[in-house]
Amino acid sequence: MKKHLIKVVLSCTVLVGGFTVSSCSKSSSGKNTSRATGWKINAKEGGFQYNTDFKEQETAPGLVFVEGGTFTKGKVQDDVMHDWNNTPTAQHVQSFYMDETEVTNVMYLEYLDYLKSVYPPENPKYTNIYVGALPDTLVWRNRLGFNETMTNNYLRHPAYAEYPVVGVNWIQATQFAEWRTDRVNEVMLEREGYLSEDAKYQAATGEVQGTFSTEAYLNRPESVYNGQIDSLQGKMKKDSTSTFAKRSSGIIMPEYRLPTETEWEYAAQAQVGQREYNNYRGRKKYPWEGDYTRNGQRVGRGDQLANFKQGKGDYGGIAGWSDDGADITAQVMSYKPNDLGLYDMAGNVAEWTADVYRPIVDDEVSDFNYYRGNIYMKSAIGEDGKVNILRDSIVYDTLPNGKVVAVNLPGEIKMVPVDEEETYLRTNFSSSDNRGYRDGDSGSSRFYDRFNDGEEEDPNKKMYNSPKHSVERDSLGNLVKGYDVSNNRTTLINDEVRVYKGGSWRDRAYWLDPAQRRYLPQYMSTDYIGFRCAMSRVGSKSKTKNKTVRGKKAK
């Protein structure tokens, strides 16, 4: 019996010895040695390349880390407006990052300046790229009010540089986030030596045709900068195994995006500083502690904690005494941040979130990272088997209000909806567009059975039969706008209305509650709605310095 055991051990030793491991009693060690095969990782001879030195996600420019957790989404207090749209639900949110402040005028002007340089509007092919990104400054006008000063100055005058940008619709806000993703990743690649120091500026000034797209770089790196990347590579080009960064390099940042409604509400509540059980269960009224809008601490006692409308004809209080420091918007960081370090999560401007609006939050389907608005897409593959990169073709969309916006820019990957190839026999999703799932799709409509019997779908019998305005072009290229005058419409809710959160300078204190929710069509803008960006966290829930392993501090 003993001889048999010895033979087994010896045979194991011989087998493993072929992999440069002397014994199977102990696995190979070292971060650059595979625990799966024993092969070397990141060997100069070639083979598998991976960032084994990665510690944790870096905090990208402008962002604050928000550690995820559980909270009560919605409101327990009285529903004064009788909207019945914020019933409390228990939700869990993954860790993420959020902008410290709202996106300011000067931040948005940087975006406009970039578009103007790379896609000159005087070129008819590019005109609608720049024009489509312009905020609507006419939102300041009032039939019986004199606001022309803001109409002419608010966006561009240096006096308003650090004020939150307004007049931006939901579509424009998401496109700003996409642009910001690419610009930040250019900086990261430059810092790590994958791009030359002046690459981003050459593209911005027009010295190099084309621009940088993160997804295009990851899928077809040779296509960025209109195929001229060879001349714009950095010091890493000398290492043949590291010519281009990959997702596995750990350098590419996740995308900037609008926060989901759940993320926004969780960040505004900032329960991290709360230890009272009642408040944890959803009774916290404002982003700060207490039930009042004035500071109750010894220093600054009586000061307003947010910028909001205090009463009829009262947008700031009595000058020099009870003033909140603003009549319209206020400069960002004018008030104390909440316990997460986020400014103006109540007041100043309301903010767009990513979600499509529905009155009910369906926590039976999801109580983890809740979000309504998923449209699953995939990269379009060309005849050569590679992803399609849009070169000279620019995809535009005409919004219901006649505004033309660019859906895809030159150099980006062409995206198409997922099809049956991805959805067949899946249990977690069955279609590309999930915005109306269980609340707005045909299956949730009153006369669903009739639709299945082949009857032509009657929009007046659907759950959300909102107005259907139309915009078309005639043979001369002029816009023909068709306003829906039907008397059978019963709602404004559809898959193109988005949730916005938080009170603004135009709102009473009631709307400062993080749980309050309102909606507006995604193509519309106002003088009181702005936005801030968010970014998902990859990896651990907590920052490294806070991580513990079985009660011991992590090394």
Q: 4 or 530: whose pLDDT is higher?
A: 530
pLDDT at 279 over 50: no
The answer to whether position 21 is within a domain reads no
CATH of the domain at 335: 3.90.1580.10
**Residues in contact with 45: Cβ distance below 8 Å, sequence separation at least 6, in sequence order:** none
Q: Which pLDDT score is estimated for 296?
A: 72
Q: Which pLDDT score is estimated for 461?
A: 64
pLDDT tens-digit map of 172-206:
999 999 999 999 999 999 999 999 988 889 888 88
List 517's β-bridge partners, or say none: 501
Same domain, 76 and 208: yes
Question: What mean pLDDT value characterizes the chain?
Answer: 86
Same domain, 478 and 520: no
The answer to whether position 34 is within a domain reads no
Provide φ and ψ at 467, rounded to 5°.
-60, 145
Domain count, the chain: 2
Closest C-alpha among 75, 69, 96, 72 to residue 363: 72
Q: What is the DSSP string of 166-186?
A: -S--HHHHHHHHHHHHHHHHH
User: How much of the chain, in percent, has pLDDT values that exceed 70?
Assistant: 86
Same domain, 208 and 102: yes
> Which residue blocks in 413-467 are alpha helix, DSSP H?
420-423, 448-452
3-state secondary structure of 448: helix
Segment (H or E) for 16: helix 2-17
Same domain, 330 and 478: no
Q: Which pLDDT score is estimated for 230?
A: 86
- CA angle, 417 then 421 then 422, to 5°: 65
Same domain, 355 and 467: no
The answer to whether position 256 is within a domain reads yes
The answer to whether position 56 is within a domain reads no
Query: Is 35:28 a contact under the CB 8 Å cutoff?
Result: yes
pLDDT tens-digit map of 419-452:
999 999 999 999 999 999 999 887 787 765 555 5
Determine the structural domain holding residue 454 and report its residue range. Answer: 441-494
No. of H helices and E strands in the chain?
A: 12, 17
The answer to whether position 37 is within a domain reads no
Query: Is 449:438 a contact under the CB 8 Å cutoff?
Result: no
Closest C-alpha among 46, 47, 44, 27 to residue 35: 27
Query: Is 230:508 a contact under the CB 8 Å cutoff?
Result: no
Q: What is the DSSP string of 228-278?
A: TGGGGB-GGGGSGGGSS--GGGT-SPPPPBPPPHHHHHHHHH-GGG---HH
Average pLDDT, integer, range 380-387: 91
The answer to whether position 54 is within a domain reads no
* CB neighbourhood size of 39 (10 A): 14
pLDDT at 457 over 70: no
In one-letter notation, the amino acid at residue 150 is: M
In one-letter notation, the amino acid at residue 66 is: V
Q: Give the distance, in angstroms, between the CA of residue 296 and the centroid of all CA atoms in the same chain.
A: 35
Return d(Cα 547, Cα 555) in angstroms, integer. 9
3-state secondary structure of 115: helix
Same domain, 126 and 247: yes
Same domain, 82 and 217: yes
Which pTM does this prediction carry? 0.90
Query: If you average pLDDT over each of 205-209, 275-279, 432-436, 457-461, which comes out highest?
Result: 432-436
Q: Which pLDDT score is estimated for 207?
A: 86
The answer to whether position 335 is within a domain reads yes
pLDDT at 341 over 80: yes
Same domain, 461 and 523: no
Same domain, 313 and 451: no
Q: Which pLDDT score is estimated for 23?
A: 43
The answer to whether position 459 is within a domain reads yes
Average pLDDT, integer, range 502-530: 95
Same domain, 229 and 213: yes
Closest C-alpha among 6, 29, 204, 7 to residue 116: 204
Same domain, 456 and 517: no
Same domain, 366 and 317: yes
